[in-house]
Amino acid sequence: MATKTARNLASGSGTVSTTAGSKVLTFSSAQSFKEGATIYVSDGNGTEKLTIDTGAGTSWTAMQNAAATASSRSFSTSDPSATARGRGSSGWIVPRAVHFVYQAPVDDQGNPDMYVYVDTLFPENGVHPYTLDPTIGSFKAGVTTGQVIPDLPTRIRRLEGALRAGRSSTSTSQDYRIADLVARARALEEWANRVGTNSPPANGSNATYTEADIIAAGDPLS
């Protein structure tokens, strides 16, 4: 499902070829991208959500690594129209990409409004490179899911535990990774001091944590 606040994309010209783990993008026809333009691909070879860094003609470099190797892939990209402000049907939050918030004096139908949308296109002289709407903010998305990295005060509160204060010791809103380490250290200390038994404690679990676990634990994204 597309992101509701992201400016809609337009169909790309020609096709693009990608290489897994590489930022290099090769197009079948010459392109004229602005910095930060989204390249979105979703086909039988997987989904790519990338943003343009530099390039010219048919050879361009993305700011992120492609996930899959495939050739001649149809793609969508940031709309070069000067009047297109529609959102919610084909735009995306791109993982590991900076996003800019633009505010227009009219909505997507041209009616007077305080209309806000998100685009990965970098502003030029403080305005959107195509619509000329001023930028009023920006944010960066995290890895994989496109989770928005919080503003600095929120990240500090999460790091310090203010948002998870008062929760039970079993709550995943606490940093239970540290709790696991403390529990393990205590078990080893009790064995070393011959508390209860002379048998060493059983091997601890080799716990792994997903990105969702880390977000739930209240840690900042990277």
Size of the chain, expressed as the number of residues it contains: 222
186: its two tokens: 């205590």
Q: What is the pLDDT of residues 98-110, one digit of tens each?
A: 999 999 999 999 9
Q: Determine contact, residues 211/219, Cβ cutoff 8 Å.
A: no
Q: Determine contact, residues 116/107, Cβ cutoff 8 Å.
A: no
Q: Name the β-bridge partners of 100.
A: 119, 138
**In which band, very low, low, confident or very high, does the pLDDT at 161 lie, cut at 50, 70 and 90?**
low
57: its two tokens: 């003609």
CA 81 centroid distance within chain: 25
Q: What is the pLDDT of residues 127-156, one digit of tens each?
A: 999 999 999 999 888 776 666 777 777 777
| Full-model pTM | 0.71
